[in-house]
Amino acid sequence: MFTSTRTFCFIVHLLLPATALYSADSVAADDTRQIPGLEQTFTGDLPAMRKRKQIRALVTYSKTDFFFEQGRARGLQVDLLHEYEKFINRGVKRATDKVRITYLPVTFNELIPALRGGRGDIAAAFLTVTPQREKQVAFTTGGKMKVNELVVTHKDIAGLKSLEDLSGKSIYVLSGSSYTQHLMQLNKKFRRERKPPVRIVQADPNLLSEDILEMVNSGVTPITIVDDYKARLWKKVLPNIRVYENLSISDANSVGWATRKHNTRLAGSLDKFALKVRKGTLLGNMLFKRYYKNTHWINNPVSKQERERQENFVAVFRKYGKLYNFDHLALMAQAYQESGLDNKKKSHRGAVGIMQLLPSTAADPNVNVKNIHILDNNVRAGTKYLAFIRDRYFSDPAINPENRLAFTWAAYNAGPAKIRKMRDKAAKMGLDPDIWFGNVELAVGRYVGRETVQYVANIYKYYVAYKLASEITDKKPDLLS
C-alpha cells in the first residue's frame, strides 16, 4: 500500500486498524445501522429543516476540506459550515430550538447523487459550476470564486509547452469531476484537427485530488488535472510535482456549494451567507488562508508515536465495545466529547481519564473497576457503566437501538434517574417518550438545561462523521496496484 503519511489524514491512523468491526460477525454494527440521518431520505426546504432542527452537510474527506485532528472535525468546509450554523441560528436563544449541522462524509462522485436523492441537504465542497451540473442542482457561489484547472505532472515529464502536447497522452483525473468534461471538450478539438485524443483515466472513486497528486509525485501516474489553488498548495510539500500555470484546460470556473433545485429557501439563505464569507472578505480570506496557504496540516503529519497512541485507543475501544455491545466509534465519539481523547484529563468535579468517570462511579458494585487512571481500565469502566445504564434503564423494546444509545449518552451526562423522569415529562408534554431527538430532548432542555441536549448532539454529530469517514477510508485502494 502507498504509505506516505501525507496521503491520508489523521482519521486513517485513528480508524483504519478497526476495520474488523465492520465484519459480518460484529454484534455492535446491528445497533447502529439506523442512525437518524443516515438511512432516511428527506428533500424538504429550509422551513422543514428548521422544524427537524437539522441540516445535513455532505462533505468529502480530505486533508484541507474535512479531516479529523485529535478526534475533532477540522477543515475549510467544517469552518464554513460552523459559521453557517451560527448564521442560521441568529437570534435563537434556546439550545433545543437551534438548527444543527451534521457532517456526512461521502466520496466526491457521490456528492450530487446523495444530494439529489435526499441523503443530504448541502453538497459542501467547491464544486465547479458546469452546464451539466446546473441541470441537476442549484449553486451558491458567494460572488463566484474563480478557479483554473491546471495540468500537473511528475517533474521528469518533459515536452509540454501547450495543450496540444497533451494529445495522445493518458491523464489520470478525479472521478466524476469537471476535469473529465473539460478534457472531453479538448478531445473534440483534437478530433477536428485529426490528432490523437487524450486518454482520460478516471481515478478510483475513493480517491481525492491530493491522493492523485501523491501518485504523480511518486511517479505512479505521470499527469493529472487539479484546481489551481490545490495545485499551488501541494506544490509546496510534494517535491516531485510540476504545476503548469500556463496550461489550463478550463479557465475562470465558478465554484460553490450545491443544493437541490427546489430548495429555494435554503439556497436563498446560503446566498446571503456566501456574501459574508466569500473569498475577498475578511472572514473568507482568513479561512481560506488557514487551509490553502498555511501548510501546517500537511508539513506536520501525525508522528509515529502519536499514531501508535491513537491505534492503542482504537484497540481499547474496539475491545470493550465488543464486550459490552457498543459500536467502538460511538464510544470514541463520546470520549472525544468528554476529554478530547485525553486520558490525562481531570475535571474540577474529580472525573478522570478519557471517559471522565468519577472514581465513586467506577467503584460502584455495578461497575467495580479499579485504577481508572489507566487507559484500559478507564475505557472499561466507562463502557461498563454505559452498558449498565442502557440495560437497567432503557431496555424497553419500544425504544429502538439508536434512541437507546442517545438516552444512554444523556443519562451518562445527567444521571439515569433524571432522564427517566424526563421521559415521563415528555409524555405529559405530548411528546414521544421513546424518542430522544425532537422529543425527550425538548423536555430535558426545558427542565434540566441545555448542557445535556448539547452533549448528546455533539456526540451524535461526531459519531456520524466518524462512522461514514471510517467506511470511506476502509475502501481506499492500494495506490500502487
304-472 shares the fold of 10-145+255-301? no
Please write down the HEC assignment for all residues of the chain: CCCCCCCCCHHHHHHHHHHHHHCCCCCHHHHCCCCCCCCCCCCCCHHHHHHHCEEEEEEECECCCEEEECCEEECHHHHHHHHHHHHHCCCCCCHHHCCEEEEEEECHHHHHHHHHCCCCCEEEEEEECCHHHHCCEEEEEEEEEEEEEEEEEECCCCCCCCHHHHCCCEEEECCCCHHHHHHHHHHHHHHHCCCCCCEEEECCCCCCHHHHHHHHHHCCCCEEEEEHHHHHHHHCCCCCEEEEEEEEEEEEEEEEEEEECCCHHHHHHHHHHHHHHCECEHHHHHHHHHHHCCCHHHHCCCCHHHHHHHHHHHHHHHHHHHHHCCCHHHHHHHHHHHHCCCCCCECCCCCECCCCECHHHHHCCCCCCCCCCCHHHHHHHHHHHHHHHHHHHCCCCCCCHHHHHHHHHHHHHHCHHHHHHHHHHHHHCCCCCCCHHHHHHHHHHHHCCHHHHHHHHHHHHHHHHHHHHHHHHHCCCCCCC
**CATH assignment of 146-254?**
3.40.190.10
For 314-366, write each residue's pLDDT tens digit: 899 999 999 999 999 999 999 989 998 889 999 999 999 999 999 999 999 99
Does 275 or 110 have the greater pLDDT score? 110
CATH of 304-472, one of 1.10.340.30, 3.20.20.70, 3.40.50.300, 1.10.530.10: 1.10.530.10
Residue 69 has pLDDT above 70, yes or no: yes
Taking residues 130-143, what's their average pLDDT?
A: 87
Average pLDDT, the chain: 84
Residue 9 has pLDDT above 70, yes or no: no
> For the chain, which residues make up each domain, given as ranges?
10-145+255-301, 146-254, 304-472
For 12-47, write each residue's pLDDT tens digit: 333 332 222 222 222 222 232 234 445 579 999 999
- In the chain, the percentage of residues whose pLDDT exceeds 90 is 57
pLDDT (0 to 100) of residue 406 = 95
Query: How does residue 296 score in pLDDT terms, banded at 50, 70 and 90?
Result: low
CATH architecture of 10-145+255-301: 3-Layer(aba) Sandwich (3.40)
